[in-house]
Structure 1
Amino acid sequence: MSWNPGVPFNDLPDLPPRFDVETRDVLKATIEARAALAALDRAAAGMPNPTVLINAIPLLEAQASSEIENIVTTTDELFRFAADEARASDPATREALRYRTALRDGFVTVAERPLTASTAVRVCSTIKSRDMHVRKNPGTFIGNPTTQEAVYTPPAGEALLLEKLANWESFIHSDDDLDPLVRMAIAHYQFEAIHPFDDGNGRTGRILNILMLVEAGLLAQPILYLSRYIIRHKATYYALLGRVTSGGAWIEWVLFMLEATRQTAISTLRKIDSIRDLQVELHETIRATIRGGVNADLLALLFEQPYCRIGTVVERCGVSRPTATGWLNALVEAGVLTDVRRGRDRLFVNGRFLELLVRDEPDASTGARV
């Protein structure tokens, strides 16, 4: 396999790799990753209100995945405008929120029909908020835009890209014994190497990872937060991608992705445990604070998003505005919520919940923060 970083990699080999990737080490790592993923899936299904994760994790994934592409927005901004993207004035925030929307749309799509190259087009179009098509023009490369020094130049030519995508699509639905986690790792490299769009390839590829696991039945909901791990190991991630390209180093790459899956599943599982503990504690405080009993929908609402507006409580709980305002003011006085003004908005923040969502859980191997 010849490769020159400054020349389009039109000889990108088709999938599957030409040797058995499922070595003894890979199989061992696969078992560990699948066990962690299964534990996460069971824990999420057993939550009283799984909307907590369905709402929060895609936002955290959106923030982290966009950060990899140097589109930096704060988690605070994302949660503030999570329920109404149109209110966000910051372009980076809007783009990250579109990632969340693309992930959700993709999740709905794979429930109805198989994951295909068309799914990738739809995901990328949502992220970029415009119709995206497979690249037709030459000149795309990954590297220094100032010096024009290329680190990698993907295949060129629309017909060739469509051919490579067809092979990628055939591989992800191959009728063989390859474990879905190993297949996801291999398919992720290939998609990034094809680099089919002018922009948005990285974020699209990271959404496709999650959709592949959902389609394979390993996740019931899109709650695996892989982008945070990739950020923490960004140099290794790109180095290993490069080693597959330059030397076919598939084993190292697959092991990295399996460990990313394992550690992410364990850290998310820990987050679920912390959310449950906080729910129990705050629910007791809330019940003791609001006289006459509290609407069960309010209890659920305060743990669906860390930010809440009076109008949201009115709509969700079916109460008058004075009643909703009274409830929220009482919870501010009790220290459960914080009253924050952002321009014309009056927001009520479940600060402990927000802190729990955004904090990094200990590394699954060493106990260090990742």
Structure 2
Amino acid sequence: MQRGLTGHYEITEVGGETIRAFIPIPLPPNPPLEMNAQRQQLLEHATLALGRLDSVTLLLPDPDLFLYAYVRREAVLSSQIEGTQSSLAQLLLFELEEAPGAPMDDVVEVSNYVAALDHGLKRLREGFPLSNRLIREMHAVLLSRGRGSEKSPGEFRRTQNWIGGTRPGNAHFVPPPPGYVQDCMTELERFLHGENNPYPTLIKAALAHVQFETIHPFLDGNGRLGRLLIAFILHHDGLLSQPLLYLSLYFKQHRSEYYRLLDIVRTEGDWEAWLDFFLEGVEHTAQNAVETAKRLLTLFQQDESSIQKHQRTSSTTLRVFRVLCERPIVTLKEVSERTGLSFPAVSRAMENLINLHVVNEITGQRRNRIFAYHRYLSILSEGTEAL
């Protein structure tokens, strides 16, 4: 439905130039969304796919294991959309020992994303509400070090920003002037808490993501936080027991369409076109996540069976292997600390795993060696190739 502009333009001056900054109307859309039979079916399919995703984690021996890996995969993908080139392996190496040989700025940025997500999850589990305060806290962690750390971490912006172009005067889109940001975010927070919201959680997440991106409340990090907001809404509202639905790969694969639809919402009021795209993405992404979880479970079972079949002293090797299921890149020291096994015992078990082609050593060194569960990494890294 074409409702026309979903906001109004404020004529203002920045740097000696006259610009038109866009101030969105508070949610929900007016007139209400058209929920025809086809769109209702998309919503049902997406909701069912989320249910399957929520239940498949119960098949895993430790759901947090999948969350650990999947969050890091998402961090790489979401940061890639912003132009970073870090790989999943580089992130894991960085977390292991502050990244020898990895491009530091990029890896720090991705590591910050993981820390921001972890912080938000911890706060939600403590009973803290999904709110502007939590969003600001996560932003402070996201920009705590490296690129962007000078751009007011944890604070709504006090200066004008823009999207595309070299300055506000030639920008593709200019968000609200700084004086409007707090009021716009307050209205969004009310919507997140259910005020005047007649729609189910999935639709709420779809609408809130666009509104957040339109407000662009921070000087940096808006895209990454806007994508995280989707997962946090679904988790906070109980649609997912773990925040395992991340749309960055879908947005990355359909980047031009994603930005086109955000523009169409603002200029034409066609929320339905965006919603159809979003719901298709949720179904597709949830199905892929389920498939990934099943593939990882199958891999773990096959390799465990192989270890039991070929190793007479399989109990020690299995203990080391299970650490690799939790952390696919490790050092002997870390495994020794995690298992309580002696360094020589861990070293022998790791040689067994190398002989079984379960792991490989990735430094080529005789000392301070690092080992990777390569097939696990390969599954997780699908789609994370740099743009």
Instruction: Give the counterpart letter for 1:120 in structure 2.
Output: I
Match of 1:79 among 74, 83, 92: 92
Instruction: Give the counterpart letter for 1:174 in structure 2.
Output: G
The equivalent residue for 1:166 is 186
- Using structure 1 for the length normalisation, give the TM-score: 0.91
Match of 2:155 among 130, 133, 140: 133
Note the residue ranges of structure 1 that are not aligned, 5 or more in a row: 362-370
Q: Distance in 2 between matches of 1:114 and 1:51?
A: 22
Instruction: Give the counterpart letter for 1:349 in structure 2.
Output: A
1:290-339 CA distance string (max 9 Å, x none): 43332454332111222121011111111111111111012112221111
CA contact (8 A) 1:289 1:331 kept: no
CA contact (8 A) 1:225 1:268 kept: no
Q: Distance in 2 between matches of 1:289 and 1:128?
A: 48
- Paired-residue identity, %: 29
Q: Distance in 2 between matches of 1:289 and 1:243?
A: 60
Q: Distance in 2 between matches of 1:342 and 1:212?
A: 44
Residues 1:283 and 2:304 are matched in the alignment = yes
Q: Distance in 2 between matches of 1:214 and 1:125?
A: 21
Match of 1:300 among 322, 326, 331: 322
- Using structure 2 for the length normalisation, give the TM-score: 0.87
CA contact (8 A) 1:290 1:327 kept: no
Q: Distance in 2 between matches of 1:218 and 1:84?
A: 36
Residues 1:355 and 2:381 are matched in the alignment = no
CA contact (8 A) 1:60 1:358 kept: yes
The equivalent residue for 1:14 is 26
CA RMSD across the alignment: 2.2
Match of 2:342 among 320, 325, 347: 320
Q: Per the alignment, in what secondary structure is the counterpart of residue 21 of structure 2?
A: coil
The equivalent residue for 1:98 is 112
Instruction: Give the counterpart letter for 1:58 in structure 2.
Output: V
Change in CA separation of 1:84 and 1:44 when aligned onto 2, cut-off 3 Å: farther
The equivalent residue for 2:214 is 193
Q: Distance in 1 between matches of 2:141 and 2:244?
A: 19
1:311-370 CA distance string (max 9 Å, x none): 111111111111111110121122211112177741111111111111249xxxxxxxxx
Moved more, 140-149 or 47-56: 140-149
CA contact (8 A) 1:154 1:193 kept: yes
Change in CA separation of 1:230 and 1:128 when aligned onto 2, cut-off 3 Å: same
Q: Distance in 1 between matches of 2:91 and 2:57?
A: 22
Structure 1 residue 270, shift from structure 2 partner: 0.7
Q: Distance in 2 between matches of 1:147 and 1:265?
A: 38
Match of 1:109 among 113, 123, 135: 123
Residues 1:269 and 2:290 are matched in the alignment = yes
Matches within 5 A, 1:175-194: 176-194=197-215
